[in-house]
Amino acid sequence: MPVLTGSLVPAVAPRGESERLAALLSRLYAEQHALTPDDPYMAEHARERVVSGQVAAFDWYRPLLPPTGAVLDWGCNHAPDSCLLRAAAGDRYALHACDYREPGHFAAFHDFAGIAYTRLTHLYQLPYGDAQYDAVVASGVLEHAAWDYESLKELYRVLKPGGVLVVTYLPNRFSVQEWLLRVVRKAGYHRRLYDLSATRRMLLGTGFEVMEARFQATLRGGWSGAALRAIPGLAALSSVLCFVARKRDSM
């Protein structure tokens, strides 16, 4: 399939369904805040515009997932994607998740999702068998991996032939926000940045065929599809990136 580029506008799920999922996440953030009231990461991600962004990303990639099967939420942290999958698909997916934090920290989210959680101990190797998963979701994690290329090779290994890899919230090399954080504030920036063409080559080099690539708009921390459509080129300067790719046995 060809790579499509442009702004990512939440137009897949019915409005009522998106609102239901957003309300669910907001409730889980409130429950988690009661358990870990001093966690600034939770407070940041509980904001309404961040929650709507999570749901919009999910609305976009969900139709590209297999209808059933085993899904790995790689680098899940509090696992909002797993919660959205559970809420939208019920028991159609067997949900597994992994990260470096000790089990039980994000109980509100992990318990709702019903994930089988594994604590990681290696920089990139995964404690799973070959060809174990039908899909892997990597939401805001690849840029933090010690070795992104080696991590992609591991994700290729644990995916079944034809399995789907979802990568979201990948920091954009041309983002004005990243430039401001790096040059002006000198704090909070990502050490690795990506662009559409270079990331596509990296995915191809690790055995993946890119199905979709999009600018994932984060103007002012939220999703601003109307502005991105109205101002040509704005997406490339204001967005993070997202990809959906498929495991290939041969290219």
Which residue type does 159 have? L
CB 134 within 8 A of CB 164: yes
Q: How many angstroms separate the CA atoms of 79 and 25, rounded?
A: 11
pLDDT, tens digit (0-9, with 9 covering 90-100), for 12-28: 455 699 999 999 999 99
Closest of 224, 212, 100, 82 to residue 151, by C-alpha = 100
Residues 6+ apart with CB under 8 A from 51: 22, 25, 26, 29, 45
235 or 103: whose pLDDT is higher? 103
Q: Is the pLDDT of residue 229 over 50?
A: no
pLDDT at 82 over 70: yes
Confidence of residue 245 (pLDDT cuts 50, 70, 90): very high
Q: Is the pLDDT of residue 68 over 90?
A: yes
CATH superfamily placement of domain 15-247: Vaccinia Virus protein VP39 (3.40.50.150)
In the sheet with 69-74, reading across from the earlier edge strand, the strands are 116-119, 93-99, 69-74, 133-139, 159-170, 239-247, 208-217
Report the percent of the chain where pLDDT is more than 70: 82
Q: How confident is the model at residue 6 (pLDDT cuts 50, 70, 90)?
A: very low
pLDDT one-digit tens code per residue, 137-178: 999 999 999 999 999 999 999 999 999 999 999 998 777 777
**What is the spatial distance between Cα 246 and Cα 159, in angstroms, rounded to a whole number?**
9
Strand-strand pairing, 133-139 and 159-170:
parallel
| Predicted confidence band of residue 179 (pLDDT cuts 50, 70, 90) | low
What is the band of 96 on the pLDDT scale with cuts at 50, 70, 90? Answer: very high
Query: 225 to each of 16, 81, 175, 218, how far by Cα in Å?
Result: 19, 21, 16, 9
For all residues of the chain together, what is the average pLDDT? 86
pLDDT of residue 217: 62
User: Taking a C-beta distance cutoff of 8 angstroms, is the pair 168, 138 a contact?
Assistant: yes
Q: Give the pLDDT of residue 191.
A: 75
Flag whether pLDDT at 2 surpasses 70.
no
**CA–CA distance, 241 with 80 (Å, rounded to integer):** 18
pLDDT band with cut points at 50, 70 and 90 for residue 9: very low
Exposed / middle / buried, residue 186 (Cβ in 10 Å: 0-12, 13-18, 19+): exposed
Query: Does residue 48 have a pLDDT over 50?
Result: yes
Residue 235 is predicted with a pLDDT of 58
Asked whether residue 108 carries a pLDDT value surpassing 80, the answer given is yes
Answer with the residue of higher pLDDT: 249 or 213. Answer: 213
Count H helices and E strands in the chain, helices first. Answer: 10, 7
Report whether pLDDT(8) > 50: no
What pLDDT shows up at residue 221? 40
Long-range contacts of 87-93 (CB under 8 A, 24+ apart): 87/20, 87/21, 87/24, 88/17, 88/21, 88/58, 88/62, 92/67, 92/68, 93/68, 93/69
SS3 content of the chain, % helix, strand, coil (to 5): 45, 25, 35
Better pLDDT: 186 or 228: 186
Contact 138, 167 (CB under 8 A): yes
Whether 97 contacts 76, CB under 8 Å = yes
